[in-house]
Structure 1
Amino acid sequence: MRFFRRHVGVAVLIAVGAVSGVTASTGSSDLQQRLDGLLADSRYQGSQAALVVRDATTGEVLYDRNGINRLMPASNAKLFTSAAALETLGPDYRFHTDVLTTGKTYGGTLAGPLYLKGYGDPTSLEADYRALARQVAATGIRQVVGDLVADDTFFDNRRLGNGWSWDNESYYYSAQTSALTVAPDTDYDSGTVIVESLPGATVGAPAQLKVVPQTSAVQLVNTSTTGAAGSPYTLSIERDHGTNVVRITGSIPADDTGGQDWVTVWEPANYAADVFRRALAAEGVKVLGKLRTGTTPAVTRRLARDESMTVAELMTPFMKLSNNMHAEALVKTMGNGSWDDGLAVVLDYAKTAGVDVPAMRFADGSGLSRMTNVTADGISDLLVAAGREPWFATWYASMPIAGNPDRMVGGTLRNRMRGTAAANNVHAKTGTLTGVTALSGYVTNADGRKLVFAFVSNNFIASPRPIEDAVAVTLASWSEGTDVPTITPNHQRVGTVEPELECSWQKAC
């Protein structure tokens, strides 16, 4: 998949039809009938779908269609990762980044290397490296006679997850996982830069480009041109595999208002060190040596430290915007730097929650891998068990909320189910890969009964996402002892983005 934001206003609205009728039957059997009818949609022919609905308090199963079948969950895998992180690391855990040295200071000169050691913070911004540089400058150091050493050895050296697709490597949702990295903005897409583009001054001139944050870690090769006003936008911005050469090709119309593209960086630790070196220079600290990677010695003295937001606070950008890099940073941190050990921790927590762990396979923490398989039963077990955890309120609030237009409230559901009984009711995690869609979380029915639902669909051609929404609205509208309204999926496409593409893939939510 190759989707990223050009213009902030891009969005898709998947509406759900209004109540169009009722049946004569009542109660749970009528609910089952309604859900059976929705899953009989023709777009499920030749595909697989699993839906489990349970009482959130008692765990009573109200509906089960293929709940034991293993399916690719896409970003529903983040439900397991986030819950394990809150339980294992704790809501108050903070990542940190240190500046250390083995050298001695003589006057304003540090004789020896400067080590920039990362401990997995996926939220480090340019501003955080400036804050570290100010702390170094506050010690009186004005010159470093030694190298600046980037140390990301707190994590293992596996940069990409098992089964991640090679052709996604340039795109922000498939960035490299490193213990020392940079995010270009407060979406905290670590390991990426933003390439801002504007048309050139005249037709035929190259596009005007700017890298945010400023860094020499990436090299732009610009062969683009400016087209006539109203001409097609064909600008393409992609990084060459195995390098930090970013090629800009195609054409941008002369009347284009400009846009942004997120591009991943090869070996983010070097990128972080370059941003830090620039910050040091801005604070009057000159590094005379070279920039290189290495390992910090066991005995050092600390000159500066930056601490991240808490894990509880991280849950909002992580879950609302479905950030893959946050998931993998949490997994590796839970595993003391090891991806495999971190995934074992995730599964250990799932087991304590009553999930049938042997029935599942986790290849990553984000769900980007097609090797990750879960069951709808397992998701529903997790959702029920999490309701009894002391951190549940934080977790529940972190999930996207249907139909809420606030970006950091509605998240990936902000444009879905507006004007329905599910709006500002459903708290659920979305999930999307080609041929995969999922929606699992919590909904309160018309009687005030809290339900959990886990809905995963695989191997379809035409997206059944409108069916997802119709199921959620049906559950929100259901009142025991009365007729269950018929919720008709609305397949109309609104806006410029195809509804089968989750907004997080296009940077549109």
Structure 2
Amino acid sequence: MRLGQWIHTGALLVGLGLLLGGCATTSNTTGQALDQLLADPALAGASVSLMVRDARTGSTLYQHNPRTRLIPASSLKLLTTAAAMDVLGPQYRFSTQLLSDGSRQGERLLGNLYLRGLGDPTIQWADYQALAANLAGQGIRHVQGDLVFDDTFFDAERLGLDWAHDDEDKYYGAQISALTVSPNADFDAGTLTVTARAPLAVGQPVSVTISPATDYVQVNNRAVSGAGNSFGLNRQHGTNLLRLSGALKPGTQSRQWVSVWEPTQLVANLFEQALAEQGITVQGKRVIGGVSPATASVLAEHQSAPLQELIRPLLKLSNNSMAEALLKAMGRKQANVGTATAGVAAVADFMKRQGLDPATLSQVDGSGLSRRNLLSAQSFTDLLLMVSKQPWFSTWHDALPVAGNPKRLIGGSLRYRLRETPAQNNLHAKTGSMGGVSSLTGYITDAGGRRLVFSMLTNNYVVAGARIKALEDRLVIVLCRSEGGA
């Protein structure tokens, strides 16, 4: 039974035959090659939605269950970031502000001091230190009021809908807050870096370093130096108790990122440290979740890089925290409500304005971590075609992972794939992965110079994920070695 259909356009195409034997084939043979790919035993019992289209004309070249909605995993970030470039704009910057509704009396601030987060997932410990230093530079040494941490720009829903329980302590499942902190240049907001070092002496406890340094988390360290490579790190649910166990090879180290419970309180802990470093004392109490008065004046501010720069680490490294921040920021911009629901409505409005039907898909978060997200290959290729007509397309396209390019912020999640093939430095695409879910969606230029858009989503497989990734790579090679034409 024919699995799909390659639609003949009157040009010779190179298919799987060239991949394996080097001989040119007709468009019909290319279609047969893709049929053979979909008949691979690895896909037995699985669901696949696949579509290939001409990027210039939009005409369909191959399709298999093109409108079947499947879980996209991180490929959903294509939709989230495209909508953000439109709704928020390429120049949009996240902001974190220090404000007060009090008055100055020498070195005293008579009133409350507010640290207001507007959702920046890129702000780091050094940036909070700089805010405190700015305040000290203004001559303030004593706050005669409360220290209020305002995270109300976003709602208090820290996790996405139907996120997996066993992802909670992972860096990619970190809690979402409008007032957060990132421990690294990858902007894994809401996490801490935990480095364990094993001494040379077998059986001795590993040493543990946490960055940024904080007493907000507690450590239960049962890990030792030894053979077996059984070292493990997790955070106990509902707490900030980090548990280290197992053995780490003598003389080696392990660096991992672990999410915290309630990022706003982590920021409170760190910012109080930053104020103390500057010799600034606070007379009042710590207040979490208070609202900055409209009459408060801005004393200092930190701004992120513009969105057109932030989408590069977001898409290249598939950053979930950044995608969720963008979704809630769109909700705040469009409906003055910083919720995922309002953000999804903003994305749907963007689609409608661009002539796409949001009723053909289901979106519940920004990152693709939820299994309630459902999209088809048709929806993805429609999106890719539409985005290619936007004024910011080149910036967005350049932010996609590039196959086989070893540079981390160019190749991204595709840097180890398709090396020494015609797809290397040709394919620009977004990957998606979770248990039983794989996807690849993007742009490629074939041997005849024709640009193609494609999307392949695979769900419900029971083989190792690497076998599905190998099939995606086979698809890409068939497409880039085809010889299309105008």
Do the structures match in fold with TM over 0.5? yes
In the alignment, which of 237, 243, 258 is matched to residue 241 of structure 1? 237
Contact 1:437–1:465 under 8 Å retained in 2: yes
Secondary structure of the structure 2 residue equivalent to 1:19: helix
Contact 1:428–1:441 under 8 Å retained in 2: yes
Secondary structure of the structure 2 residue equivalent to 1:275: helix
CA offset at residue 292 of structure 1? 2.9
Match of 1:11 in 2: none
CA offset at residue 382 of structure 1? 0.2
Structure 2 residue runs of 5 or longer lacking an equivalent are 1-15, 333-337
CA distance, structure 2, for counterparts of residue 348 and residue 186 of structure 1: 32
CA offset at residue 102 of structure 1? 1.9
Q: 1:232 to 1:18 in 2, by over 3 A?
A: farther
Greater displacement, 180-189 / 261-270: 261-270
Amino acid at match of 1:233: N
Deviations 1:285-316 (A, max 9, x none): 23344433022222212111000010100011
Match of 1:328 in 2: 324
Deviations 1:41-93 (A, max 9, x none): 11110001111000111101001111010100001110100000001100000
Contact 1:270–1:292 under 8 Å retained in 2: no
Match of 1:495 in 2: none
Deviations 1:467-506 (A, max 9, x none): 101111111111138xxxxxxxxxxxxxxxxxxxxxxxxx
Greater displacement, 77-86 / 461-470: 461-470
Percentage of pairs with the same residue = 46
Match of 1:21 in 2: 21
Match of 2:393 in 1: 392
Match of 1:122 in 2: 121
Secondary structure of the structure 2 residue equivalent to 1:322: coil
CA distance, structure 1, for counterparts of residue 110 and residue 367 of structure 2: 43
| TM norm structure 1 | 0.88
CA offset at residue 33 of structure 1? 1.8
CA distance, structure 2, for counterparts of residue 24 and residue 86 of structure 1: 41
CA offset at residue 410 of structure 1? 0.1
Match of 1:153 in 2: 152
Amino acid at match of 1:251: A
Match of 1:86 in 2: 85
Secondary structure of the structure 2 residue equivalent to 1:309: coil
Greater displacement, 152-161 / 95-104: 95-104
CA distance, structure 2, for counterparts of residue 181 and residue 394 of structure 1: 27
Amino acid at match of 1:475: L
Matched, 1:360 2:361: yes
CA distance, structure 2, for counterparts of residue 36 and residue 351 of structure 1: 34
The number of residue pairs the alignment matches comes to 461
Match of 2:255 in 1: 260
Secondary structure of the structure 2 residue equivalent to 1:306: strand
CA distance, structure 1, for counterparts of residue 410 and residue 54 of structure 2: 24
CA offset at residue 17 of structure 1? 12
Contact 2:19–2:478 under 8 Å retained in 1: no
Match of 1:473 in 2: 477
Report 1:48-447 matches (<5 A): 48-200=47-199, 202-227=201-226, 231-256=227-252, 258-293=253-288, 294-336=290-332, 337-447=338-448
CA offset at residue 24 of structure 1? 6.8
RMSD: 1.7
CA distance, structure 2, for counterparts of residue 60 and residue 474 of structure 1: 18
CA distance, structure 2, for counterparts of residue 353 and residue 29 of structure 1: 34
Structure 1 residue runs of 5 or longer lacking an equivalent are 1-15, 482-509
Structure having greater relative contact order (Cα 8 Å, sep ≥ 6): 1
CA offset at residue 22 of structure 1? 5.3
| TM norm structure 2 | 0.92
Amino acid at match of 2:195: E
Q: 1:351 to 1:234 in 2, by over 3 A?
A: same
CA distance, structure 2, for counterparts of residue 319 and residue 17 of structure 1: 33
CA offset at residue 202 of structure 1? 3.6
